[in-house]
Amino acid sequence: MTPDGSALMNKRPAPDITITFGNGGTGKAAAVGDVLLHAPEASFLLRDVLHIPEATENLISVRHATNNGLDFKFTSTACEIWRNAAKLASTSCNGDSIYYLDGWITPEQQQQSAHSAMKTPPLLAHTAKETPLLWHKRYAHLGFGGLSKLKSSNMVTGIHTTTTEFQAAGEGSLCEACVLGKQHRLPFTASGTSSNRPLQLLHTDVCGPLPITSSGGNNYFLTLLDDYSRLSIVIPLARKSDVAQTVIDTITLLENQTGNRVKSVRSDNGTEYLNHKLERFYRDKGIHMQTTNRYTPEQNGAAERLNRTLIEKVRPMLAESGLPKSMWAEAVVTASYIRNRSPVKGRELTPWELFYGSKPDVSHLRTFGARAYALTPKQLRNKLESVSQPGRFIGYPSGTKGYKILLDSGDTVISRDVIFSETDSSSSSSSSSILPQPISRPPLEVVSINDDAVDSDSAGAAQLEEQEQPPLLAPPAAQLHALQDYCNAKKLTVNAKKTQVMIMRPGGGSGNGKLAAGESFEYAGLLLEVASSTKYLGLTFSQLSKQHGFASCADVLAKAGRQAMFAMRRRAWELGACLVEQQCMLFDVFVKPVLSYGCELWGVDVLLRPDCSSVERVHRWFCRRVQGLPKQVTAAISLAELGRQPLQSFWIQQLVRFWNRLQNSAADEDRVLGHFRMAH
């Protein structure tokens, strides 16, 4: 049997059957049909499944299934389902001696429901056992008194926990996430205005900037509150300048949805509200604009209380889920969604019912951040790939039937076919369980650079005097020997006439690009040119002075790196890949190669001038910005928070790899230029 009528195929009228449940309740069969179940091992069809609307779980009758050709093999901890010699599925037994099977309907076989977007629970074959604490988490940590009122006053449908259970939980339960997020709640003065219909008066406020930029690039959120119903609308914003247009769009949408007209809007006297664009809109629509006096936000107490309520929900939601704080935008929108389906002070109905006139069904609610497995559409996978993708639940999409899931791959999808594990302890352990893991790198064997070297000049070159001379600081002749050895070992034939080999030095030797008196550098029988600059793949490498090295090259690379970085971040926001870990990974893939282009040539300057000015500054700016840190935070702290190293460490590694290749291929060990070492 199943409580989900949309799960049935070949639906037909049911015989007159009444089912008695374990708690003494009864339910009558509304229809009968077939259900195609997808299990991890295989898919199989269950025939003559009863639709019992009063049921709270999906149940499989062993006797009925065996009559349809299925075999069951039971042990004390598991059960296997077989047909002939083929294993179809495995189940597990929990502490209450019930065998649970994880399965779901394929989208191709599922009939579309004619109900509202969330009338039918998306989950077919796995629902967590309902407890007061589970509903407390699903409802964004709403108090047990509020949950008890929801049930006793019949404000919503879909909650099967009793009022007594909620009251008992309120007396003996302590939620640590609530203590951490809701302590020291301060009172606000009531606004003192009463409305008698929806949209008669709207309260609005802007909260922010928040200390951390959200995964979608937002720093603020806009709230609108209907005074009559207390329905709230929350919209994350990147800039305060977006407030005016967002208010205009939202008011237009609400008026079209309800047929009511907004009569008044109350806000503070911030410039985001006192501007020509909004004033002209209010004037054209005949809307009365009410503003508070300066430094008296209590005059718009309803909006202030709403902001406080939402933030107090967001804190425990993030703490409980273990998701990073950059997910605050998803959390605050979800908190508003749940608040609209919760009891509010001074109202006998929920804000949703007061505003829209229908009782909300909350059977689809799930715990924010819960482990989730979204079914991959058949068109997007092959036969050998997994049929579902693991991730975390991060909200209810507006205007779409389904759940918003942040996949472990970093992508965000909206799916109706989702299996949840709301009791999985891994969902609240650490945000790293669902985010791209940092690449494990062994400690540098040849160089160790601390952050102090990034922000200040270093005497690194002087400290090399007692060390073996690094290859790229060796005389040009020694470098040419290593190059020749490499070509010989690899049996490479070099066309010296077409292969540009130069001796790079400040001023180009005598300054005219020719060899100075007494100088003679020869390679493959040809004299080499001494130059102060060269062009490679459109990038000019110039050595202007001993103090600055390849300064102009660094400036060009920094400019190209900034362009690549801004393009990467913009595209990442569009694709929803905006977590800090994801942006760092994208930076390393798309931006770091640009900033490190040709470092085998100019990277030797790292030994002489470790700050690398403009190029390294691009990396520092990114590390601060992606964490939302102010300029006063040092580069050392911003890098340490992300577990990253200065770019110069990567450049030196590239130098080491390049010269080790030459060394290892040298035929004569006496010519091997030694290991590349550098002290702090």
User: 615: which 2 tokens?
Assistant: 């190029």
Higher pLDDT, 203 or 132: 203
Q: Which amino acid is at 159?
A: I
Higher pLDDT, 31 or 131: 31
Cα–Cα distance measured from residue 429 to residue 357, given in angstroms and rounded to the nearest whole number:
40
Higher pLDDT, 33 or 473: 33
CA atoms within 13 A on the CB side of 224: 24
Q: Tell me if 322 sits within 8 A of 428, measured CB to CB.
A: yes
pLDDT score for 481: 65
Nearest to 566 by CA among 616, 630, 618: 618
% of the chain at pLDDT higher than 90? 15
511-545 per-position pLDDT tens digit: 444 555 555 566 556 666 666 666 655 556 655 54
- Identify the band that residue 37 occupies on the pLDDT scale cut at 50, 70 and 90: confident
Q: Tell me if 228 sits within 8 A of 201, measured CB to CB.
A: yes
At residue 589, φ and ψ (nearest 5 deg) are -85, -40
pLDDT at 199 exceeding the cut of 90: yes
pLDDT at 438 exceeding the cut of 60: no
Across 181-188, average pLDDT: 51
275-285 per-position pLDDT tens digit: 899 999 999 99
Across 268-274, average pLDDT: 87
Long-range contacts of the stretch 351-359 (C-beta < 8 A, 24+)? 351/226, 351/229, 351/230, 351/231, 351/232, 352/229, 352/231, 353/155, 354/198, 354/228, 354/229, 354/230, 354/231, 355/198, 355/226, 355/228, 355/229, 355/231, 355/258, 356/258, 359/154, 359/155, 359/156, 359/157
pLDDT score for 436: 32
At the top level of CATH, which class does the domain 187-356 belong to? alpha beta
**Region at 443 (left for phi over 0; alpha for psi -120 to 50; beta for the rest):** beta
Across 13-25, average pLDDT: 78
565-580 per-position pLDDT tens digit: 888 888 887 777 777 8
3-state secondary structure 441-473: CCCCCCECCCCHHHHCCCCHHHHHHHCCCCHHH
Cα–Cα distance measured from residue 457 to residue 371, given in angstroms and rounded to the nearest whole number:
48
Q: Which of 96-105, 137-146, 403-412, 440-449 has the lowest average pLDDT?
A: 440-449
Across 46-53, average pLDDT: 87
Q: Which of 137-151, 329-343, 364-378, 484-498 has the lowest average pLDDT?
A: 484-498
Q: Tell me if 91 sits within 8 A of 99, measured CB to CB.
A: yes
Cα–Cα distance measured from residue 100 to residue 45, given in angstroms and rounded to the nearest whole number:
17
| Boundaries of every domain in the chain | 5-100, 187-356, 452-671
Q: Tell me if 652 sits within 8 A of 603, measured CB to CB.
A: yes
Nearest to 49 by CA among 120, 117, 127, 105: 105
pLDDT at 408 exceeding the cut of 60: yes
210-262 per-position pLDDT tens digit: 988 898 889 999 999 999 999 999 999 998 889 999 999 999 999 998 889 99
Q: What is the mean pLDDT of the chain?
A: 73
Cα–Cα distance measured from residue 599 to residue 651, given in angstroms and rounded to the nearest whole number:
6
8-state DSSP, 649: H
Across 132-154, average pLDDT: 80
% of the chain at pLDDT higher than 70? 65
Across 411-432, average pLDDT: 67
DSSP 3-state of 215: coil
pLDDT at 666 exceeding the cut of 80: no
Q: Which of 36-50, 440-454, 456-470 has the lowest average pLDDT?
A: 440-454
pLDDT score for 550: 57
pLDDT score for 477: 58
115-125 per-position pLDDT tens digit: 333 333 333 33
Q: Which of 92-106, 355-369, 590-604 has the lowest average pLDDT?
A: 92-106
